[in-house]
Each structure stands twice: as C-alpha cells, then as structure tokens.
C-alpha cells in the first residue's frame, strides 16, 4: 500500500518536474494539444465520413479559430503576461467547440463532448473556484443552446434533456478535477513540509556529527566504536596516534589493529602486563568488547620500548531498544605516567624496606642473644626485652611484606609450569597450619595442568590464598583448591567455609592495608598486604583475580591465568 502510494507520488513528481522544465509557451501548447489533435483527426476524417460538414461556414470558421488558438499558444509571449492570461485559450476553446458543434449539426451532435478539454484545463488551473464552476457550467450550456432554440416550437423533452445533460456533466467533471487537484496540492504541500523537515533533520544530524567528531578528536583518550560484527564504526585521532606509535617503525597507519590478522607485524603491538608477552588475540580489548564483555581498568602495553605506553582500557556494550547487543565502545587511556610513578614509589619502598631489614635483623639478633641468658636478667627486664623482641619481629614481618609487595610484580620469569605441582606443594606447606586450625584441606586439580607462569610468584600467590582461607576459618572447616583448563585459560579456585565478608568489604580486599572489620575484631594476625601482592602477581601474568563471599558462609577466590601447552621435550 505504502509502496504503491510512493510510486504514484514518484510518477506525479516526475511528470510535474518535466512539465515545469518546459517554457510557458510549450506548457500552454501542451494543454491545448489533445483538443487540437482531435480536431485535426476530425478534419482528416470529414471528407469521407461527413462531407456535408465541410460545406458549413460555421464549421469552417470553428476550424480557423481552433488553428488560431493553437498558433496563439505557441506564439503569444505568455511569460510576459499574468499567470491567468493563458486561460483565455480554454475559454475561446469553448467558443470554437460551440461553433464546430452548431456548424456540424445535425451530423456531428456529439462534438459538444469536446468541451471536456477546456473544462478540465479551467478546473485544474487554480483559478477562483466560483469562476471556474460558472465557466464549466455555462460554457457547455451555451454550446447546446442555439440548436435547442432552433427547434422552437417543436422542442421535445428529449431535446431539453440532451441540452441540459452536457452542462451538468461538465459541472461534475469540473468538481471532480477541482477536488483531485486540491487533494494533490495538499499532498504536495505535505510532501514539501516533510522534505523540509528531513532537510532540517539531516542538517541537525550533520551538525551533531561534526560536534561529536570535534569532541572525540579533542579528548586525550583513544576511542573505538565497533558494531556487533566487529566492523569499526569510528576511531578518533588519539587512538590513531596510539596505534601508529605502537606500530613497528616504517609501517603505515591502518584501521583497528585488534581485528586484523594476528601476528601481522604491520599491526600495532599489544603486550601483556609483563611488557614483553604479546597479548593473546582473544584478550585484545576490542575483541573482548565484540564478545559483549564489559570491563574497566584492563591494562595493556602498546608498542615496544622506548616508545612503549601503558594504556588502561575499558569497554561498554551498545544495546538496542530490545536490550540486544549492537556493538561496543572501547576507550584507551594513556596511564604511562601513573604506572611509572607507582613503580618509582614501589622501588622507593623496596629500597627503604631493604635498608630497614639489616638494622632490624641486628636488633632482633642482639635481643635473641641477650634473652638466651635469661637468668642473668631481672624478670622485669626480660618482660620488657620480650616486648621489644615481639615488636621488632612484627616490624621485620611488615618490612618484608612491604618489600615483597613492592617487588612482587616487578619481575616475573614465566615458563611452562605444572599448576597441579604448585598446588600440591602449597597444600603440603599449609598442612601444619590447617591441622592446628582444625581445617580440612582438599584438592581437585587434574595433573599435569600446564600454565605459562613464574612458578615462584604463582606459588607465592597460591600460598597467600590458601593461608588466608585457613586463617579466616577460625572455627575450623573445609578448604578446597580446584583448577580447570577452559578455552585457553586455567581457572583456579580457593574455596573456604569460613567467616566470609560483606559485599562492600569484598570489593576492597585487594587494596593495600585493607582488613575487614571482622578480621580485626577477631584479632586474626595480618597487615592487609597479602591480597594486593597476589593481585599484582596474577595481573603481571596477564591474568585476573576475583572474589565472591558471604558473611558467615565463606569465600571463593578465583584466579584466571592464560594457559599454555606442555613444555617441549627439547
Ligand atoms: P591479611 O590477611 O594480612 O590481613 P590480605 O591482603 O591477605 O591481608 O587480606 C586482606 C583482608 O581480606 C583480610 O584482612 C581479611 O579481612 C580479608 N580476607 C582475605 N581472605 C579472606 C578469606 N578467605 N575469608 C575472609 N576474609 C578474607
């Protein structure tokens, strides 16, 4: 229905466009052409069909008038006259048709029907409705009048009906044409206003697009927008800059790297947190976003030293009205300065901690020596020295933690490692602790389970998680360590049924020195550094750590690490 309507509109608009392209003379001649063609046909047929009409002076006069009218259409400079001047032609057409009709009577009675041409012209011309209707009625009425009068006094009802029928028919045609042309004009106006609205919308949308591009190119974060199929919709200047800086020297700028052939050295180099290992293809921020993942603070390194940049990436999905996935926006924020400041601070803390350890060891060693000879000391002095010893040991533990915390993530040496072996040795060293705390240890890890990690660091992270699980199960219970390999990743879980935490506490446990209220109240020893160290180690391996917990019901820590194949035999 709508298609038909639009194709009708298309035809009407095309005809209208071509008609407007003609000059005024050609336009007037075109309106007159159908009538002229019929008259010419009549003249050609007359000698054979109605030879008598050619003897009528009136008919000959009408032919001359028709000829003059058509010539007038072509010769009169209508463009210089008013818009309604040309209507003189259809009015004179009525006169010419009247002459033809009365000249050709009684041979060609039907000629009055030709009045339909001037009537349509007058009605569609846009002239005042009243004038048009009067002309359309009385013009044809006058055409039949002379032959009616000629029949006086022998007029029959059939004669009257014939004479009256024509003006009424023409009146009906005039009204129909007028309604149709009014309707057409209304439609045209509606179309024009729709077109104007569309033009305004288009201009507004172009303006918005310009504004959006200016904003996108002004901000100092890189932005990529992709559709649901991963096609790049938009890349801003800053992102192009990141990519070209990360591309091996001598290569030209191209579209988004993450979507192209993996391992192609014309593409920007994205590295994991160790700043050396190329990011696995499915960990590329844009690829993750295309899979519908929403994330924030995913740190990747662009390019190689010395132009290497630390970039924090985040992605949000674009949803359609039905909540379906329509694409994603990925944001790249250069945090090289911040990362360098943090590592400078860590280095400072590591240096200071290291410097503290030597004198502290000397203090503790000397206190141990003095306390070895307890009998030679006053009981009060022993008590005081023991307090000093305990605090010096606490200080040493704190300094050691700080040192580890600062350096844990700094250097890792990944190699193909059997995670099952690491779990086994971690459980083995936690055995005594667990027994004392009445905690049962359980493992569910298929052996061997290969991962590409630094065994020393991941062992340290695992020890932290297992010792926490035991430590925060004050009433005893069950701790289970399980691991599975899935889609290029190894997922390790440490699950306990201990004291658990609230959601708000769980969200803060990876922050340095944070301890939950329950842990402090229960006087469980600790300084709140273990998990931040664990997180740094895991992330250094390009992995992720998360925790789910419920107060009184226990906690589950999940570590995801990029897997690797078994070590080569060589
Ligand atoms: P520490 O154990 O030395 O306090 P961590 O960084 O290892 O430091 O842990 C930070 C805090 O997280 C702990 O103080 C404790 O409140 C909470 N926490 C860690 N592991 C668990 C766990 N398995 N169950 C409940 N709370 C935990």
> How far lies 338's CA from each of 111, 303, 319, 342, 408, in Å?
97, 18, 33, 6, 18
- Does the residue 507 lie in any domain? yes
Q: How far is the CA of 528 from the centre of ligand 1 (A)?
A: 7
| 6 and 110 together in one domain | yes
Ligand 1: does its nearest atom lie under 6 Å from the Cβ of 271?
no
Q: How far apart are CA 227 and CA 233, in angstroms?
A: 7
| 399 and 414 together in one domain | no
Q: How far is the CA of 509 from the centre of ligand 1 (A)?
A: 7
Residue 201: CB partners within 8 Å, gap ≥ 6? none
So what's the pLDDT on residue 64? 94
**Reduced 3-state DSSP string for 25-84:** HHHHHHHHHHHHHHHHHHHHHHHHHCHHHHHCHHHHHHHHHHHHHHHHHHHCCHHHCCCC
Nearest residue by C-alpha to atom 9 in ligand 1: 528
pTM for this entry: 0.50
- Does the residue 431 lie in any domain? yes
pLDDT tens readout for residues 27-84: 899 999 999 999 999 999 988 888 888 888 989 999 999 999 999 999 999 888 887 8
| 311 and 346 together in one domain | no
Nearest residue by C-alpha to atom 27 in ligand 1: 472
For 221, the token pair is: 């974060």
Closest approach atom of ligand 1 to CA 527: 3
Q: How far is the CA of 531 from the centre of ligand 1 (A)?
A: 7
Percentage of the chain with pLDDT > 70? 92
Q: How far is the CA of 471 from the centre of ligand 1 (A)?
A: 8
Ligand 1: does its nearest atom lie under 6 Å from the Cβ of 531?
yes
So what's the pLDDT on residue 357? 84
Select the more confidently predicted residue: 564 or 460: 460
| 245 and 158 together in one domain | no
Whether residue 448 is preceded by a cis peptide bond, meaning omega within 30 degrees of 0, is yes
| 387 and 304 together in one domain | no
416 backbone dihedrals φ, ψ, rounded to 5°: -70, 120
Ligand 1: does its nearest atom lie under 6 Å from the Cβ of 555?
yes
List, as one string, the DSSP characters of 155-197: --HHHHHHHHHHHHHHHHHHHHHHHHHHHHHHHHHHHHHHHHH
The Cβ of residue 88 has, within 10 Å, a number of other Cβ atoms equal to: 13
Ligand 1: does its nearest atom lie under 6 Å from the Cβ of 405?
no
Position 21 confidence tier, pLDDT thresholds 50, 70, 90: confident
| 300 and 346 together in one domain | no
Position 345 confidence tier, pLDDT thresholds 50, 70, 90: confident
So what's the pLDDT on residue 317? 93
Ligand 1: does its nearest atom lie under 6 Å from the Cβ of 133?
no
| 290 and 417 together in one domain | no
For 54, the token pair is: 């050619």
| 148 and 64 together in one domain | yes
Q: Is the pLDDT of residue 254 over 70?
A: no
Count of helix runs (H) and strand runs (E) in the chain: 16, 13
Select the more confidently predicted residue: 493 or 305: 493
Closest C-alpha to 278, from 256, 262, 259, 266: 262
Ligand 1: does its nearest atom lie under 6 Å from the Cβ of 528?
yes
| 421 and 397 together in one domain | no
Q: Is the pLDDT of residue 405 over 90?
A: no
So what's the pLDDT on residue 9? 66
Residue with tokens 């219970």: 477
So what's the pLDDT on residue 196? 95
Q: How far is the CA of 500 from the centre of ligand 1 (A)?
A: 9
Nearest residue by C-alpha to atom 7 in ligand 1: 530
Q: How far is the CA of 326 from the centre of ligand 1 (A)?
A: 40
Paired strand residues for 112 = none
Pocket test for ligand 1, best of 437, 441, 468, 528 (most atoms within 8 A of CB): 468
So what's the pLDDT on residue 109? 73
So what's the pLDDT on residue 527? 80
In the listed set 348, 374, 406, which residue is the last one of a domain according to the structure? 406
Residue with tokens 């045209």: 188
So what's the pLDDT on residue 313? 92
- Does the residue 96 lie in any domain? yes
The Cβ of residue 375 has, within 10 Å, a number of other Cβ atoms equal to: 5
Of 58-67, 156-165, 474-483, which range is least confident?
156-165
- For residue 269, what is the domain's CATH number? 3.30.450.20
Ligand 1: does its nearest atom lie under 6 Å from the Cβ of 506?
no
Half-sphere exposure of 413 (CA within 13 A, CB side): 1
Q: How far apart are CA 22 and CA 31, in angstroms?
A: 12
Ligand 1: does its nearest atom lie under 6 Å from the Cβ of 466?
no
pLDDT tens readout for residues 161-183: 888 888 999 999 999 998 988 88
Q: How far is the CA of 486 from the centre of ligand 1 (A)?
A: 28
Question: Are 567 and 494 contacting, i.e. CB atoms less than 8 angstroms apart?
Answer: no
- Does the residue 121 lie in any domain? yes
- Does the residue 209 lie in any domain? no
For 465, the token pair is: 């998680």
- Does the residue 201 lie in any domain? no
Q: How far is the CA of 344 from the centre of ligand 1 (A)?
A: 27
Closest approach atom of ligand 1 to CA 510: 6
| 144 and 266 together in one domain | no
Ligand 1: does its nearest atom lie under 6 Å from the Cβ of 527?
yes
- Does the residue 207 lie in any domain? no
Average pLDDT over residues 215-243: 92
Pocket test for ligand 1, best of 441, 519, 547 (most atoms within 8 A of CB): 519
In the listed set 406, 424, 447, which residue is the last one of a domain according to the structure? 406
- Does the residue 202 lie in any domain? no
Counted domains in the chain: 4
So what's the pLDDT on residue 359? 87
pLDDT tens readout for residues 256-301: 444 443 445 567 788 887 788 888 888 889 999 999 888 887 888 9
In the listed set 352, 381, 406, which residue is the last one of a domain according to the structure? 406
Alpha-carbon dihedral angle through residues 405, 407, 413, 418, given to the nearest 10 degrees: -20
pLDDT tens readout for residues 362-382: 999 999 999 988 888 888 899
Residue 404: CB partners within 8 Å, gap ≥ 6? 460, 529, 533
- Inter-residue long-range contacts of 537-540, CB under 8 Å, 24+ positions, other chains counted: 537/408, 537/409, 537/412, 537/454, 537/457, 537/458, 537/460, 537/461, 538/458, 538/461, 539/273, 539/299, 539/409, 540/273, 540/274, 540/408, 540/409, 540/412, 540/457
So what's the pLDDT on residue 150? 80
| 386 and 425 together in one domain | no
Q: Is the pLDDT of residue 550 over 80?
A: yes
DSSP 386: H
Q: How far is the CA of 464 from the centre of ligand 1 (A)?
A: 9
Nearest residue by C-alpha to atom 2 in ligand 1: 526
For 64, the token pair is: 């001359």
Average pLDDT over residues 234-249: 85
Nearest residue by C-alpha to atom 10 in ligand 1: 528
Closest approach atom of ligand 1 to CA 526: 3
| Mean pLDDT (the chain, rounded) | 86
Residue with tokens 């459980």: 427
Question: Are 309 and 302 contacting, i.e. CB atoms less than 8 angstroms apart?
Answer: yes
Ligand 1: does its nearest atom lie under 6 Å from the Cβ of 547?
no
Residue with tokens 């402090």: 520
Q: How far apart are CA 425 and CA 150, in angstroms?
A: 131
Pocket test for ligand 1, best of 528, 534, 535 (most atoms within 8 A of CB): 528
| 183 and 125 together in one domain | yes
Half-sphere exposure of 135 (CA within 13 A, CB side): 27
Side by side, the strands of the sheet bearing 554-562 are 439-444, 477-486, 489-496, 554-562, 544-550
The residue segments making up the domain with residue 292 are: 222-333
Closest approach atom of ligand 1 to CA 529: 6
So what's the pLDDT on residue 351? 79
Q: Is the pLDDT of residue 566 over 60?
A: no
pLDDT tens readout for residues 83-136: 789 999 999 999 999 999 888 877 777 888 899 999 999 988 878 888 888 999
Residue with tokens 């002004």: 218
Nearest residue by C-alpha to atom 8 in ligand 1: 528
Percentage of the chain with pLDDT > 90? 43
Select the more confidently predicted residue: 483 or 429: 483
CA 18 vs. chain centroid, Å, equals: 42
- For residue 500, what is the domain's CATH number? 3.30.565.10
Q: Is the pLDDT of residue 223 over 80?
A: yes
Select the more confidently predicted residue: 410 or 289: 289
Question: Are 482 and 444 contacting, i.e. CB atoms less than 8 angstroms apart?
Answer: yes
Question: CA torsion sign, 294 to 297 to 303 to 307?
Answer: positive
What is the separation, in whole angstroms, between the first and last Cα of the chain? 75
């Amino acid at each position: 229905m709508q298609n038909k309507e639009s194709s009708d509109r298309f035809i009407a608009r095309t005809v209208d466009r071509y008609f407007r392209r003609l000059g005024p003379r050609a336009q007037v001649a075109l309106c007159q052409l159908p009538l002229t063609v019929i008259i010419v046909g009549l003249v050609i047929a007359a000698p054979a069909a109605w030879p008598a009409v050619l003897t009528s002076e009136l008919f000959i006069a009408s032919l001359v008038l028709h000829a003059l009218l058509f010539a007038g259409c072509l010769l009169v400079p209508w463009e210089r006259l008013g818009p309604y001047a040309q209507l003189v032609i259809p009015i004179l057409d009525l006169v010419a048709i009247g002459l033809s009709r009365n000249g050709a009577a009684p041979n060609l009675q039907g000629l009055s029907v030709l009045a339909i041409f001037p009537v349509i012209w007058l009605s569609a011309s846009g002239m005042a409705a009243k004038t048009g209707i009067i002309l359309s009625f009385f013009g044809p009425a006058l055409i039949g009048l002379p032959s009616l009068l000629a029949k006086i006094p022998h007029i029959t009802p059939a004669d009257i009906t014939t004479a009256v029928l024509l003006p009424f028919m023409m009146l009906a045609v005039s009204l129909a044409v007028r309604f149709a042309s009014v309707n057409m004009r209304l439609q045209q106006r509606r179309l024009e206003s729709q077109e104007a609205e569309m033009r305004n919308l288009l201009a507004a949308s172009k303006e918005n697009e310009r504004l959006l591009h200016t904003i996108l190119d002004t901000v100092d974060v890189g932005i990529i927008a992709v559709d649901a199929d991963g096609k790049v919709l938009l890349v801003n200047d800053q992102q192009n800059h990141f990519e070209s800086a990360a591309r091996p020297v001598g290569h030209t700028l191209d579209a988004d790297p993450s979507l192209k052939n993996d391992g192609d050295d014309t593409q920007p180099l994205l590295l994991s947190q160790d700043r050396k290992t190329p990011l696995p293809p499915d960990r590329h921020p844009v690829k993750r976003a295309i899979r519908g993942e929403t994330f924030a603070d995913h740190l990747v390194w662009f390019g190689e030293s010395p132009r290497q940049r630390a970039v924090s990436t985040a992605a949000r999905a674009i949803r359609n009205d039905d909540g379906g996935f329509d694409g994603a926006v990925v944001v790249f924020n250069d945090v090289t300065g911040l990362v360098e400041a943090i590592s400078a601070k860590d280095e400072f803390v590591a240096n200071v901690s290291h410097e503290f350890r030597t004198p502290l060891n000397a203090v503790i060693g000397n206190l141990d020596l003095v306390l070895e000879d307890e009998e030679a000391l006053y009981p009060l002095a022993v008590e005081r020295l023991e307090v000093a010893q305990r605090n010096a040991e606490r200080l040493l533990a704190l300094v050691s933690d700080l040192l580890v915390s600062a350096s844990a993530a700094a250097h890792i040496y990944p190699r193909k490692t059997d995670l099952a072996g690491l779990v086994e040795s971690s459980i083995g060293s936690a055995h005594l602790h667990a027994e004392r705390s009445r905690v049962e240890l359980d493992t569910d890890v298929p052996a061997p389970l290969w991962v590409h990690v630094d065994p020393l660091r991941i062992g340290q992270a695992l020890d932290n998680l297992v010792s926490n699980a035991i430590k925060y199960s004050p009433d005893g219970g069950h701790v289970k360590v399980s691991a599975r390999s899935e889609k290029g990743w190894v997922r390790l879980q440490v699950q306990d049924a201990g004291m658990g935490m609230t959601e708000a506490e769980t969200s803060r446990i990876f922050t340095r020195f944070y301890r939950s209220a329950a842990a402090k109240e229960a006087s469980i020893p600790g300084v709140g550094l273990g998990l931040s160290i664990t997180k740094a180690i895991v992330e250094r391996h390009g992995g992720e750590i998360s925790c789910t917990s419920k107060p009184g019901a226990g906690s589950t820590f999940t570590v995801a690490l990029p897997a690797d194949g078994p070590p080569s035999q060589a």
